[in-house]
Structure 1
Amino acid sequence: MKQIINTYKRLFSILFLVLLSGCGKTNWNENFREKEKSPFGTYIVYNEADELFENEEVIYLKENFYDYLFNNYETSEADFGTYVCIKNDAYKLTSDGIDDLLSFVSNGNNAFLSLNQFSANLREKLEITTNDLDKKIDAIQDLKSLKGEFYLNNERFEQQPFTFDRNIRRHYFVTYNENKTIVLGSSKIDGEKVPNFMKIYHGKGAIYVHSNPVVFTNYYLLKDKEQYTENVFSYLPSSTLFWDPHIKKSDYSKQPDKDNTSVFKFFLQHETLTWFLFVSLAGVLLFMLFNARRKQRAIPVIHPLENTTVAFTQTISSLYLKEEDHKNLVDKKIAFFLEQVRSKYLLNTNNLNKDFIQHLAAKSDNKIQNTKYLINTIITLHKRSECSEEELLGLHKMIDNFFKNK
C-alpha cells in the first residue's frame, strides 16, 4: 500500500503543481467522487481497494447494491461480505434501502459507512445520536481552518495521535447503545476525546460507522496519512467487499405490500426509461419555447377596394347641375346611349336614319314609335347649343324607359 501511495504522491504532486501554476482552478470542494482526482475526491482509495484489501475480493458496484445481490445470489441468507460507502451523506438511501441494508447485515454480513451526515432514519435504526459543531460551515476558506486529532483504541497502532490539518469537522457520536456498540476510535474536541468511529452489532453482523469521510480522500492519502486509512480498514473482517461509488434507491424490495405504483418511480428505477423521461421532458420544453417565439403575427385585415364609380358620377353630375351646364350633360347622356347601342345591339350609330330606327326597335324589343321619338329627340337636342333642365330630365327618362322596355 505504501509503495502505491508513494507512486500516487509523485503523480499527483506533478498534477497539483501544473494546476496551481497554470490556471489556479483546483477544485477544493468535498465531492467524495471516485472518478475525481481533485483533493477531496476518492479516486485513490477507490482504485486501489484491491491492493488495500489484497486478500479479499473487491466488487466495484455498477448497479444498485440490492439489484446486484438479487441478480447474483439465490438467497439473502448467505454470508456475502462487507458493504462500503464513503460519502458526504446517504440521502439516496431511502427508508426501504436502510431496512434492506440492516437486513443484509443481520444475516451475518457487515457494512462500513463513513458520512458527514447520518439521516434521522438511519440514526434511529442504529440507536445513535450525532453532533456537528461545524455543520453551518460550508465555505472552502472556513473549512480550511478546521484541524483535527484522531485516535484509534488499539495500542498496536503506531503514530498516534493522527493529526489532520484542514476540513476536519467536529462531527462525532454523542449517544449509542452500549450493550451492542464498541468505540473503535475517537476525536479530540476541546481537550476531550469523543467517539468518531464505532462498531455496532446488528443481528449476526455489524455496522462500522465513521463520522469523518474526508480522511479517506486523495488529499490525506498524499500527505502521509495513509496509515490511518489502513488501520481503520483493518477492523473490517476478511470477506468480499462491495464498494458502492454511488448509493442508489433500491429497485428491489422484499416487502410486496409496499406501494410501488408511482409511474415516475417506475421510470426512475430503470436507466433507459429515466433517460426517455428526461429527453421527453426536454423535448416538450423546447417545443413550448420555440413555439412561443415563432408564433405567427396577426394578419392585418385588408378591406376590398370600394367601387367609387357611382359616387364619382354623382359628384360630376352634381357639379354640372350646380353650374347649370345642361347641354354638356345632354351630350354625355347621348354619347352614353349610343355607346350602349353599339356594344349591346351591335348597330352602327353613324347614321340615325329610318333603317337604324327600325333595326334598333326590333333588337331592343321596343315599339317603333317610342324608338323613333327617342332618336328624333336625341338628334334635336344634339343640334342645339343650349338645353334646359326639363329637356335634360326628359331625355334621361326616355333613355331609362328604353332600356327597361317600357
Structure 2
Amino acid sequence: MDKRSKIALYIIGAVIVFIMIAEIVKPQPLNWRDSFSAADKIPLGCYVLFNELETFTDEEVIASEESIYQYLKKVDHTSPKTLMFINNRIYFDSEESNALIDFVEQGNTVFISSIYHYGNVLDSLNVSVERQYANIYRKEAENKFTSPSLKANNRIFKDVVENSHFVSVDSLNTTILGTITTKTEDDNDNFETNPNLIKIDYGDNDGQFILHTNPFAFTNYHLLNDKEDYAATVLSYLPKQQIIWDNNYKSGRKVITSPLRYILENQALKWAFYISMFGLILFVIFRGKRTQRIIPVINKLDNATVDFTRTIGELYYQHGDFTNIIEKKIQYFLEFVRTKYYLDTNQLNPSFIEKLAVKSSNTKEDAKTLVDYLVFLKSKKQHTEQELIELNKKIEHFTKHKL
C-alpha cells in the first residue's frame, strides 16, 4: 500500500470516529410519549406524583403490577382503601368491572383520571364522556373547582392539555367537584363549561367513585410547572386512607418483549426455565471436565526409500546417464550377494560362479552368463540404453528363484 492510500484510510477512519463521537454526545430529543408510569421521569410520566402520594395518606402506598381482577382477590379488606387509576385511556372488561364495583360496595374508594373511559363501570354509574376532537392543538382550558374556597387553586392549562368532559351524570348520586371551561368552536369569544371532576356515591358502605378527565394534570410536566396546587386539590377529595397505585393499566407499562414472554410471566414456568438453564450449565461444566479428549490417530511413517530410489533412477534415466545407472545396479547386486550369501565379490572367477550358483539355486550356466556380463560392463567406460535394459533382464531372470 502506497503512502497516498494510507493517508486516505487514516482520513476515513478519523471521519468515522468523529461521527460516532458526535452521535454519542449530541443531546437526546425529549421523550413526549404518554407514559403515566410511576417509574418514568419523562414529561408525561408520574414519577413526581407517585413519590408525593405519601402526603395524602398515613399508611404505606402500595403499587399494583397485575390486573385489578387478580389483585383484588388477595387484597386486605379489613380497612378501607383508595385505588388510583391514571392513564390516557382506561378499559375494564366485565370481570374487572364487577371486581371493581364489589370493591367500592365494601366501602372503598376508586379514583380514575382518564381521557377515555371504557367498560361496564361507566354504564353502571350512568356516566358518559365526550372528548374534544375538533383541534389537533387543544384550546387552552381553565380547570376550576366548584367550591368557591378553592378558587385560588384553579389553573389554566395552555399546553399538554386534554379537554374531555362529562356530558351526562346520575344527578341523584353524583356531586360535581370541578369543571372545565373552553372557547366554543364559533370563535366569537363564547365559552362553554362542563364538568370534568365528579364524585359518585355507591353502595351502602360509603363507597365512592371519583372520576376526572384530565390525566395530564398529574404528569411531571404540569406538577413542575405551577400546576401542583390543582393536582393536590383534586387528590384532597380522597379519603385519608391507604392508597393503592395502579401500575398495570399504563401506556408506559414495562412489558417483557422477549420471545420467552409467556414463560417469564408465569411464575411456575419461569422458575422451571431458570432451573433447567442452571442444570444445563452445570452439566456442560462437569461433562467438559470429566470426558477424556479424543486421542488423535498418528499414522505410521511411510518408508519412502523405494520411492526415493525410483525418483533418483528416473532422474538418471531422463538425463541419459546410462553408465551411472549400470554402475549403481552392479553395486547393488554385488552388495546383495555379499549380505545374502556371504560371498566375496572382489574376484569374479569360476570359483565365485560355482558358489553363487549353488547358494542361489540357479544353474551354473545362468550364473556364468550373468557374471560374465557384469565383467563385460565393468570393463567399458560408456554404456548404452540397450545394455542397461539387458542387464536389468539378466538380473531379474537370475533373481526369480528368490536368491
After superposition, what is the alpha-carbon deviation per residue over 1:160-197, rounded to whole angstroms, capped at 9, x for unaligned? 75313431133344566777655443322332223432
User: Are 2:150 and 1:157 equivalent residues in the alignment?
Assistant: yes
In structure 2, give the amino acid aligned to 1:379. Answer: V
1:404 is paired with a residue whose SS is helix
Partner of residue 245, structure 2: 244
Partner of residue 214, structure 2: 212
In structure 2, give the amino acid aligned to 1:232. Answer: V
Whether the 8 Å contact between 1:134 and 1:171 is mirrored in structure 2 is no
Partner of residue 101, structure 1: 100
Partner of residue 379, structure 2: 383
Partner of residue 50, structure 2: 46
User: Are 2:156 and 1:166 equivalent residues in the alignment?
Assistant: no
Counterpart CA distance in 1 for 2:309 and 2:115 is 92
Which of residues 316, 333, 338 is equivalent to 1:337?
Answer: 333
Counterpart CA distance in 1 for 2:219 and 2:318 is 104
Counterpart CA distance in 1 for 2:122 and 2:339 is 108
After superposition, what is the alpha-carbon deviation per residue over 1:320-346, rounded to whole angstroms, capped at 9, x for unaligned? 3xxxx7655543432342344456556
2:151 is paired with a residue whose SS is coil
1:159 is paired with a residue whose SS is helix
Whether the 8 Å contact between 1:130 and 1:175 is mirrored in structure 2 is yes
- Specify whether residues 231 and 392 from structure 1 end up closer, same or farther in structure 2 by C-alpha distance, changes over 3 A only: closer
Q: CA deviation at 1:112?
A: 0.7
- Specify whether residues 308 and 104 from structure 1 end up closer, same or farther in structure 2 by C-alpha distance, changes over 3 A only: farther
1:48 is paired with a residue whose SS is helix
In structure 1, give the amino acid aligned to 2:52. Answer: E
Q: CA deviation at 1:268?
A: 0.9
Counterpart CA distance in 2 for 1:148 and 1:275 is 54
Q: CA deviation at 1:246?
A: 1.7
- Specify whether residues 401 and 27 from structure 1 end up closer, same or farther in structure 2 by C-alpha distance, changes over 3 A only: same
Q: CA deviation at 1:83?
A: 0.4
Q: CA deviation at 1:219?
A: 4.6
List runs of 5+ in structure 1 lacking aligned partners: 1-22, 250-262, 285-303
Q: Which moved more, 1:227-236 or 1:310-319?
A: 310-319
Partner of residue 299, structure 1: none
1:247 is paired with a residue whose SS is coil
Q: CA deviation at 1:84?
A: 1.3
- Specify whether residues 399 and 214 from structure 1 end up closer, same or farther in structure 2 by C-alpha distance, changes over 3 A only: same
- Specify whether residues 27 and 34 from structure 1 end up closer, same or farther in structure 2 by C-alpha distance, changes over 3 A only: farther
Summarize the alignment of residues 214-229 of structure 1 with structure 2, pairs less than 5 Å apart: 214-229=216-231
Q: How many residues align?
A: 332
Q: CA deviation at 1:120?
A: 6.6
- Specify whether residues 373 and 39 from structure 1 end up closer, same or farther in structure 2 by C-alpha distance, changes over 3 A only: closer
What RMSD in Å do the two structures reach over aligned CA positions?
4.8
User: Are 2:403 and 1:402 equivalent residues in the alignment?
Assistant: no
User: Are 2:197 and 1:193 equivalent residues in the alignment?
Assistant: no
Counterpart CA distance in 2 for 1:227 and 1:381 is 128
Partner of residue 233, structure 1: 235
Q: CA deviation at 1:45?
A: 3.5
Counterpart CA distance in 1 for 2:359 and 2:95 is 105
Query: What is the TM-score of this pair, normalised by structure 1?
Result: 0.61
Counterpart CA distance in 2 for 1:196 and 1:116 is 10
In structure 1, give the amino acid aligned to 2:54. Answer: D
Which of residues 262, 265, 268 is equivalent to 1:268?
Answer: 265
Query: What is the TM-score of this pair, normalised by structure 2?
Result: 0.61
Q: CA deviation at 1:375?
A: 1.5
Counterpart CA distance in 1 for 2:103 and 2:83 is 9
Counterpart CA distance in 2 for 1:147 and 1:347 is 128
2:375 is paired with a residue whose SS is helix
Summarize the alignment of residues 50-69 of structure 1 with structure 2, pairs less than 5 Å apart: 50-53=54-57, 57-61=59-63, 64=66
After superposition, what is the alpha-carbon deviation per residue over 1:289-319, rounded to whole angstroms, capped at 9, x for unaligned? xxxxxxxxxxxxxxx9995864664464355
Counterpart CA distance in 2 for 1:386 and 1:402 is 24
Counterpart CA distance in 1 for 2:135 and 2:117 is 16
1:244 is paired with a residue whose SS is strand
In structure 1, give the amino acid aligned to 2:110. Answer: A
Summarize the alignment of residues 83-102 of structure 1 with structure 2, pairs less than 5 Å apart: 83-89=83-89, 97=96, 99-102=98-101
List runs of 5+ in structure 2 lacking aligned partners: 1-25, 185-190, 251-259, 282-300
- Specify whether residues 124 and 268 from structure 1 end up closer, same or farther in structure 2 by C-alpha distance, changes over 3 A only: farther
Q: CA deviation at 1:210?
A: 1.7
1:349 is paired with a residue whose SS is coil
- Specify whether residues 171 and 33 from structure 1 end up closer, same or farther in structure 2 by C-alpha distance, changes over 3 A only: same
Partner of residue 317, structure 1: 317
Q: Which moved more, 1:126-135 or 1:390-399?
A: 126-135
Percent identical: 29
- Specify whether residues 389 and 43 from structure 1 end up closer, same or farther in structure 2 by C-alpha distance, changes over 3 A only: closer
Whether the 8 Å contact between 2:141 and 2:158 is mirrored in structure 1 is yes
Partner of residue 287, structure 1: none
Counterpart CA distance in 1 for 2:84 and 2:384 is 121
Counterpart CA distance in 2 for 1:248 and 1:361 is 113
